[in-house]
Amino acid sequence: MFARLLSTSLLIFSCSAVLATEYRVGELQIDTPWSRALPPNAPAGAVYFTVKNGGLTADRLTGADTPNAAKTELHTHLRTGEVMRMQRIDSIEVPAGTAVKLAPGGHHIMIFKPKRPLAAGERFPLTLEFEKAGKVEIEVEVRSDAPASAGHEHH
């Protein structure tokens, strides 16, 4: 009896966890949007997620917007000699049949002057705009650590 109750509750938990972190627009799927928790006076933060293109044509992320920031930009990291620095980019390519990871040390969405502190456990909406698939609103979870499924980009 106990074992049966336990397995039922585990099943319910895992289903809701998946539903809460996946978003679809057209042929695109956006997984596990998150932002790293920062001190209350931090001037900027970054948003990460994985976007999978299950379609047959390439798409690209062309912009993002959130009511929780004064300004939002698409960024990547570039290595110049031994120095890694961030640079603004106009778009992020999502080729057909691939998954593109926005992650620390790589592509990310920069949010400037967060209106509410990026405290662990907070959530805020973010609208993504894709060239072909159009707009989709996702919810970003503020976390002190990267989610297990997000991994890390190599520098």
Give the whole-angstrom CA distance, residue 143 versus residue 56: 34
Q: Is 36 in the site for Cu ion (CB under 5 A)?
A: no
Nearer to Cu ion, 4 or 88 (CB): 88
Closest CB 109 distance from Cu ion, rounded Å: 8
Nearer to Cu ion, 32 or 72 (CB): 72
Beta-ladder partners of 75: 88, 108
Q: Is 110 in the site for Cu ion (CB under 5 A)?
A: yes
Total interface residues for Cu ion by CB under 5 A: 3
DSSP 131: T
| CA dist list (Å): 111 to 48, 73, 74, 121, 132 | 11, 7, 9, 17, 23
Q: Is 86 in the site for Cu ion (CB under 5 A)?
A: yes
Give the whole-angstrom CA distance, residue 60 versus residue 67: 22
Nearer to Cu ion, 58 or 86 (CB): 86
Question: Taking CB under 5 A as the criterion, which residues in 59-78 touch Cu ion?
Answer: 75
Q: Is 136 in the site for Cu ion (CB under 5 A)?
A: no
Amino acid present at 147 = P
Beta-ladder partners of 20: none
Q: Is 107 in the site for Cu ion (CB under 5 A)?
A: no
Provide the binding-site residues for Cu ion, judged by CB under 5 A.
75, 86, 110
